[in-house]
Homo-oligomer: A and B are copies of this chain.
């Protein structure tokens, strides 16, 4: 039997302050790998249906993957699982940087935080040792100074810190968790931390991360580096433009949403192309953390004007979409500042920008007015408002108190038909690729496990490009469903390894298998790895099903179904969602009527037990209702 790596689990209960240590069973690792899929399993089994996301019943799971902290390229990531306060459904959210590798160097692959403190605290984890420290003095601090003060206080500049800002403390439902200048952004994990009065988690390890077969692993790493190097998209374009590499092509295809999705393009679009702003604003290309040779991160700096002094590691494509095109703002300096403030205060930049765009459309339509906005002329294009709006949202004050509700709840509050253009799915504001011009993306937003996320079913960017390339001979519904399914499962696999999604595009399946087997000491086949991806996808689905999700929930904002873009190449286009969803369910092995994974599919994935548990719970609940 091959040498296998011990994978530690650390559980900290904030109610009892009890710390327990455990080992993740080998059979779990074999079936679920690590990172996302493994976290899916823990989330499913430890978070019962119906709990309130901001109650002490919710938990936070911080997980690394089998390659995290090794010398394999593009693996400096971690994933957080929790029940989302924004959607009330499944949430996993990832971030790059130094936290994941350091977590593993403490000897743990997973950290579970339960219960809640009644006073502000932070956790400091040094290998086996856990300190629960007072954070009263840090409460109210932005994330940058929080990290600075903790490092100073612990006397350790290499302590790695995941923390929340004022947005998380104030339970903004789309508050992010920040490490360095990077966000585990979407879905409100920061608010869950805030509800536990947990300001920060600090990790500092002294151990070298082991691999099972170090010789084989070194060879596999060389293969991976060579794969990346041979792929010009990954090794050249990402270095130059990061996540913006496709903006001009997407814009030409009418895929970049403008004015809260009224348009798919704009005469101002060019202002937001990286070719326009790179030279003026980018001062450094950076990576999350070693080992990575790509450096897709862009440090941007504003040197003049009212946003002068703003520095961001970003904005990435999604933030340029949310604050820029979606708000019809082409002032790139204002976008940099808004993005930097999201990191500083701990907010998700996508939900923030899209919420502002929604409010702008409501204002322009007279659904809200100056008495609602506190006198702000909240029109599209007002870049000078962004920084104040982001600030006040984080602190839930002035009109920020309204914006902090997010798009869905704002539309419920505003009424007057505003739900027709409230650009969210299941409560999560949708990402920046217009499915009216790239139909396969519709499935990602409609059926993704965490709501309208552009990453949930594979890379939307990639799917959009594929659709654009096939404009002459469009993809069939079947092809669309198939590609979203397979890319979605591969995405879960990437997030379980955990690979950087950009660089994983450049690494072949063969090399992926080689790396994982050498690192973990298993003997996975390519098919088994993809099955892990599919297993994760179905666990995530079942979590949501157990929360009540059925087919009717898998939908899109009415604007995408009923209105076509005002101008641009996709005029006349709307999404015909029904046929796409039916085909997607069919390919997924989910029941066409309900959207619940079939027993056959679950049994195939070794998840049969989950379905029978669910069914007996449902039956018990129904019995209870009939007796009441």
Spell out A's residues near B (CB within 8 Å).
136-142, 145, 149, 151, 157-158, 166, 283-284, 299, 301-306, 308-309, 311, 344-345, 391, 394-395, 397
Contacts and interface: CB of A to CB of B under 8 A. Distances in A.
Among A158, A299, A391, A395, the one with the most B-chain Cβ atoms within 10 Å of its Cβ is A395
Contacts of A145: 311
Closest 3 CB pairs of A and B: A157-B157, A140-B303, A137-B283
A301 B140 contact: yes
Given A145-B311, A306-B391, 15 more contacts: A136-B283, A137-B284, A139-B303, A140-B302, A140-B308, A140-B309, A141-B309, A141-B311, A166-B303, A166-B308, A305-B395, A308-B395, A308-B397, A309-B345, A309-B391
12 contacts: A140-B303, A140-B308, A140-B309, A145-B311, A149-B284, A304-B395, A305-B395, A308-B391, A308-B394, A308-B395, A308-B397, A309-B394
A309 B391 CA distance: 9
A308 B311 CA distance: 19
Nearest to A136: B283
Contacts of A309: 140-142, 166, 344-345, 391, 394-395
Contacts of A284: 137, 149
A311 B301 CA distance: 21
The SS class assigned to the A binding surface is: loop
Given A283-B137, A284-B137, A397 B311 contact: no
B301 A397 contact: no
Contacts of A138: 283
Contact of A397 (B140, B305, B344, B345): B305
A376 to B, nearest CB: 13
A389 to B, nearest CB: 12
Contacts of A137: 283-284, 299
A303 B137 CA distance: 11
Nearest to A341: B309
Contacts of A306: 391
Nearest to A137: B283
A258 to B, nearest CB: 30
A304 B301 CA distance: 27
A432 B309 CA distance: 30
Contacts of A344: 309
A97 to B, nearest CB: 13
A156 to B, nearest CB: 9
Nearest to A301: B140
Nearest to A157: B157
Contacts of A166: 303, 308-309
A108 B485 CA distance: 66
A493 to B, nearest CB: 32
A283 B151 CA distance: 16
A136 B141 CA distance: 31
Nearest to A153: B284
A12 to B, nearest CB: 25
A331 B414 CA distance: 35
A378 B610 CA distance: 67
A302 B136 CA distance: 14
Contacts of A397: 304-305, 308
A279 B130 CA distance: 30
Nearest to A344: B309
A137 B311 CA distance: 12
A311 to B, nearest CB: 5
Contacts of A140: 283, 301-303, 308-309
A345 to B, nearest CB: 7
A394 B305 CA distance: 11
A284 B142 CA distance: 15
A305 B398 CA distance: 9
A308 B301 CA distance: 23
Interface centre among A137, A138, A309 (most CB of B within 10 A): A309
A166 B308 CA distance: 9
A173 to B, nearest CB: 19
Nearest to A156: B157
Contact of A158 (B157, B302, B345): B157
A427 B304 CA distance: 28
Contacts of A142: 309, 311
A391 B136 CA distance: 30
A548 to B, nearest CB: 37
Nearest to A165: B309
A304 B151 CA distance: 25
Contacts of A136: 283
A366 to B, nearest CB: 27
A344 B158 CA distance: 24
A323 B157 CA distance: 34
A66 B43 CA distance: 61
A455 to B, nearest CB: 28
A528 to B, nearest CB: 40
A308 B169 CA distance: 13
A306 B284 CA distance: 31
A171 B611 CA distance: 70
A283 B140 CA distance: 10
A300 to B, nearest CB: 11
Contacts of A149: 284, 299
A342 to B, nearest CB: 13
